[in-house]
């Protein structure tokens, strides 16, 4: 069983090589946005929330070498706002309402969902797009609504949720490396 999991991950990462130019372009775009005072909003549920928070943590802190802190917010991490919004407006609004509060035209939104069908992430992507934000998705296999609602996506073609999430971590690290490279931070 474990050997099969590693084989699935290896195959997914091999297929991910074709997304390298896209991830590099995302990093260049995100670096320009963040360096000019814009922000990144990211969200997901469960393991995808952990990956979104990993992304924002690397940007606010540092990925490898020291640099200026960059504005990146994991929307699910504000538990008081998330639970209040869920209680008052319904769970599908939990991220969209925060996008309305924090997002500005030109900012970047990243939605992570292994299925691409999480209603709260999909509504947040739709809201971000309506606000004039750049919208990106990290998902599992297509077709799925989140890819359709986003300006661009990195899709992980893998048979299991765990493998998709493990590959998403590789994408998060590659994106952070691309941001740092674009900002001239030594690797």
Mean pLDDT by 10 residues, the chain (187 residues): 94 96 98 98 98 98 97 97 97 98 98 98 98 98 97 96 97 98 93
Query: Which three-class secondary structure state does DSSP give residue 50?
Result: helix
Helix axes 20-35, 161-182, angle to 10 degrees: 50
Query: Which three-class secondary structure state does DSSP give residue 29?
Result: helix
The reported pTM is 0.97
Phi and psi at residue 37, to the nearest 5°? 95, 0
Q: What is the pLDDT of residue 41?
A: 98
Distances (CA, A) of 170 to 124, 163, 176: 23, 11, 10
Q: What is the pLDDT of residue 6?
A: 95
Q: What is the pLDDT of residue 70?
A: 98
Q: What is the pLDDT of residue 184?
A: 97
**How many other CB atoms are found less than 10 A from the CB of residue 138?**
31
Q: Which residues of 80-108 are buried (b: 16+ CB within 10 A; e: fewer)?
A: eebeebeeeeeebbbbbbbbeebbeeebb
Q: What is the pLDDT of residue 187?
A: 79
């Amino acid at each position: 069983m474990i050997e099969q999991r590693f084989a699935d991950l290896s195959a997914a990462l091999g297929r991910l090589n074709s997304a390298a130019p896209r991830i590099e372009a995302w990093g260049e775009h995100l670096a320009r946005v963040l360096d000019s005072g814009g922000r990144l909003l990211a969200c997901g549920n469960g393991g995808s929330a952990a990956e979104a928070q990993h992304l924002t943590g690397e940007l606010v802190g540092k990925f490898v070498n020291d640099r200026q802190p960059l504005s990146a917010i994991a929307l699910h991490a504000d538990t008081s706002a998330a639970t209040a919004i869920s209680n008052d407006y319904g769970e599908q609004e939990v991220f969209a309402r925060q996008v309305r509060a924090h997002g500005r035209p030109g900012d970047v939104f990243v939605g992570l969902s292994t299925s691409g069908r999480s209603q709260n992430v999909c509504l947040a992507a739709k809201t971000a797009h309506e606000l004039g934000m750049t919208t990106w998705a990290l998902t599992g296999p297509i077709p799925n609504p989140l890819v359709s609602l986003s300006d661009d996506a990195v899709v992980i073609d893998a048979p299991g949720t765990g493998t998709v999430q493990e590959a998403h971590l590789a994408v998060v690290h590659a994106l952070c490396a691309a941001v740092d490279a674009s900002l001239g931070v030594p690797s």
